[in-house]
Amino acid sequence: MLHPQVQQALDAISSRPIENVFLVACGGSSALMYPSKYFLDREAKTIAADLYSSNEFIHRNPVRLGSKSLVILCSHSGNTPETAEAAKFARSKGALTVSLTNEPASPLAEASEHVIKYSYGPDAPAFETNYSIMYQLVSGLLYVKEENAKFHRMIHSLQGLQAAYDRAKIQFADQAKAFAASNKDEKVIYTMASGANYGVAYSFAICILMEMQWIHSHAIHAGEYFHGPFEILDKTVPIIQLLGLDETRPLEERALHFSRQYGEKLIVIDAKEFDLSGIDEDLKGYISPLVLNFVLRQFANELADARNHPLSTRRYMWKVPY
């Protein structure tokens, strides 16, 4: 069954014309919207989609933002000032605002017309977590606006996500430990992906490696790799290569094929190894980034342990003015 607050948002969406969708958040909350941008690009026949960091969205001030716009925002704490401000800005332009947050008593929730509280933490059912809620919302949008036939199967497939996570947790436990042991002293670790998976690579680079581990990083787009970044590769450079199941997989495979010839520190997480039973075949490409992200979180946990640098360590965030 659909999350009831998603249903409420869809009811509001169905009562008005929507010409475009803006996906607006910062950092990790923005990264979790990338699969939805991919989904909308591939599926939405009448609705354009754009994704912006919250303050970029406000200052860029897209001229097509208006009463026929849906703005989807996300902040875990609901306290991200730029994102709450973006909700106010979008409403001032007449747009419909729907926000995802873990904290319904927050500035973002107060600033938004519709609020969806997602679940969080080790015991949260995968169906109720942020990535899943995003897909419920955008596939629901295309169902109510365009009768997209994937909606009901998407909901059904997302109900199989927890089992996929549980299986992946066991399956990748040893690889996560091995990754941490091999990479704990690295000063630079790149990530790479394309398509629906790029946001997961981006999130691991900026939130896990740079923010939580103070390791230099950059999420390389696998299609861009051969137009600059690949010249950095030698036998000392670690790259985490994600391989998803979406239509852009050939880009990721090509990058890996090259890296394997000239690099020696490649970490590969391949969605083909996942047991995705219960998830519809033609939705596995969309849902793979969610499982890739889940697996990478284990890699992050193990890396933090091996480096004795807890993921909660910060020097600036929430500690000094910025």
Residues that bind its own copies (CB under 8 A): 20, 26-30, 38, 41-46, 48, 50, 53-56, 59-64, 80, 82, 187-188, 194-195, 205-207, 210-212, 214-218, 221, 223-224, 226-233, 247-248, 250-251, 254, 258, 262, 314-317, 322
Q: Which one, of 74, 60, 92, 71, lies nearest residue 29 by Cα? A: 74
Q: How far is CA 32 from CA 129, 146, 197, 257, in A?
A: 11, 24, 10, 27
- For residue 74, list its beta bridge partners: 25, 100
Shortest Cβ 123–its own copies spacing (Å): 26
Q: Which one, of 173, 159, 179, lies nearest residue 279 by Cα? A: 159
Smaller CB separation from its own copies, 145 or 221: 221
Smaller CB separation from its own copies, 128 or 146: 146
Shortest Cβ 98–its own copies spacing (Å): 20
Shortest Cβ 209–its own copies spacing (Å): 9
Is residue 254 within 8 Å of residue 222, measured between CB atoms?
A: yes
Residues 6+ positions from 318 with CB-CB distance below 8 Å: none
Smaller CB separation from its own copies, 77 or 301: 77
Shortest Cβ 214–its own copies spacing (Å): 6
Q: Which one, of 268, 183, 178, 266, lies nearest residue 230 by Cα? A: 266
Shortest Cβ 170–its own copies spacing (Å): 29
Smaller CB separation from its own copies, 168 or 300: 300
Smaller CB separation from its own copies, 211 or 302: 211
Smaller CB separation from its own copies, 110 or 146: 146
Shortest Cβ 294–its own copies spacing (Å): 19
DSSP calls for 58-115: HHH--TT-STTEEEEEE-SSS--HHHHHHHHHHHHTT-EEEEEES-SSSHHHHH-SEE
Residues 6+ positions from 309 with CB-CB distance below 8 Å: 212, 213, 214
Shortest Cβ 322–its own copies spacing (Å): 5
Smaller CB separation from its own copies, 90 or 207: 207
Smaller CB separation from its own copies, 14 or 46: 46
For residue 242, count other CB atoms closer than 10 A to its CB.
30
Is residue 245 within 8 Å of residue 164, measured between CB atoms?
A: no
Smaller CB separation from its own copies, 57 or 165: 57
Shortest Cβ 283–its own copies spacing (Å): 16
Give SS3 for 15.
coil
Shortest Cβ 311–its own copies spacing (Å): 11
> What is the C-alpha separation between 177 and 170, in angstroms, rounded?
12
> What is the C-alpha separation between 97 and 270, in angstroms, rounded?
36
Reading the block at residue 114, the tokens are: 């519709």
**Burial category of 105 from C-beta neighbours within 10 Å (exposed 0-12, middle 13-18, buried 19 and up):** exposed
